[in-house]
Structure 1
């Protein structure tokens, strides 16, 4: 890995990112063919937060948060920091002091495959975080990594400037060149879900609306009346 800090990469339009965030993580994930999900390991430290931002990516060494310090300078309003390490690490690489610096620059939150700490402080200041762990374990600042390079999170590539959406259901990353597609598909899915919601409120069963009775029959499922 070449130590590098890429400055001012192109970013997805914030108006589009905000519109995607309103759709929600699950809707966007489903609308894009069940792709772009960054995995169940990333869990929110708070409830009810729904954010979207443009990715500033950070690649650190395990137990070392030097490159997060370097990445802060590259952040601007509307960004969302995404952090991972060169090998698995759950140490507390991110805490309240970083959040304070990022909030000053208009950063909307952090997503990290590592641990976070100062969780009560992060909640109190309203800085959203999604992480793989909560850990008080401290770190060093000794090894060069990279900022604003493609990284891999949950098997998905996250590139600087991509649209990152996060809520109670987890995190998705929509490639910058697919944001328009995601908006169109996500809005169509919302309309479809609202029609289904109305049908369910009127008493229609999913078995009938989705044509699942035929599926059950093809799988050999039989209805047998219970004996009294």
Structure 2
């Protein structure tokens, strides 16, 4: 018997527990459009100082892009009971984003969970904690970013929460945010900001393309750099 109340049951949760419904879905065409956007470009358009830090890539292909709706998890360091529950709740393409307090004393996601995630066609894992079974992650097929790794395994006691606001690698993530991750890093974009942000991203891409062309042909843009220096008060 499940010790946790069902999602639809109006019950008082035991201390430390919350299992809430997934955030609203994001249209497939929207996700597909964002999958083509580099994290660095999206980050530039969001102020340049946003995104997870201190997490590293555990899947082998640098070209792999993680893009999907966030299912968030907050768990006691070293415990993965609610992560399993979140994976069962997630839809294909969803990304499991885990706040485990940054602890790397015990792995909370491993190869068996990777197998489950592949079978369920999930979009990947972001773990502010430790993973294990690195050779299995190196087989590819399931993106994973984590704080670190260890052979030491998890408990399954709880408590924990699913689909609440969390902090993962210093990045605030709300359930239902769009997660965008590539070789450069990870962003969470609120779903209600996606349509307004995309035109800015496209303009940024066009501007970068023009700068790249100038750099390739002229070896840099002296006028642009000198103008910036003069704006700082230098007599250039």
Give 1:73-222 correspondences, 5 Å limit.
73-85=88-100, 87-90=101-104, 91-203=106-218, 205-208=220-223, 211-217=224-230, 218=232, 220=234
Q: Give 1:27 deviation, angstroms.
A: 0.8
Alpha carbons of 1:23 and 1:205: their partners in 2 closer, same or farther (altered >3 Å)? same
- Contact (CA 8 Å) 2:78, 2:103: kept in 1 or not? yes
TM-score normalized by the length of structure 1 = 0.88
Q: Give 1:221 deviation, angstroms.
A: 7.6
Q: Hey, what's the Cα distance between the residues in 2 that align with 1:154 and 1:114?
A: 9
Q: Deviations over 1:70-127 (max 9, x none)?
A: 1111111110110112x33113111111111112212011111111111111221421
Q: Give 1:180 deviation, angstroms.
A: 1.1
Paired residue secondary structure (1:202): helix
Alpha carbons of 1:158 and 1:10: their partners in 2 closer, same or farther (altered >3 Å)? same
Q: 5+ residue gaps in structure 2?
A: 1-14
Q: Give 1:215 deviation, angstroms.
A: 3.9
Aligned residues: 218
Q: Hey, what's the Cα distance between the residues in 2 that align with 1:84 and 1:36?
A: 17
- Contact (CA 8 Å) 1:26, 1:169: kept in 2 or not? yes
Q: Hey, what's the Cα distance between the residues in 2 that align with 1:54 and 1:122?
A: 21
Q: Give 1:144 deviation, angstroms.
A: 1.7
The residue that corresponds to 1:22 in the other structure is 36
Higher relative contact order (CA 8 A, sep 6+): 1
Q: Is 1:69 aligned with 2:84?
A: yes
Q: Hey, what's the Cα distance between the residues in 1 that align with 2:221 and 2:63?
A: 28
| Cα RMSD for the two superposed structures | 1.9
Q: Give 1:51 deviation, angstroms.
A: 1.8
Q: Give 1:219 deviation, angstroms.
A: 5.4
Q: Deviations over 1:31-70 (max 9, x none)?
A: 222254112x111112321120110111110111111111
The residue that corresponds to 1:42 in the other structure is 55
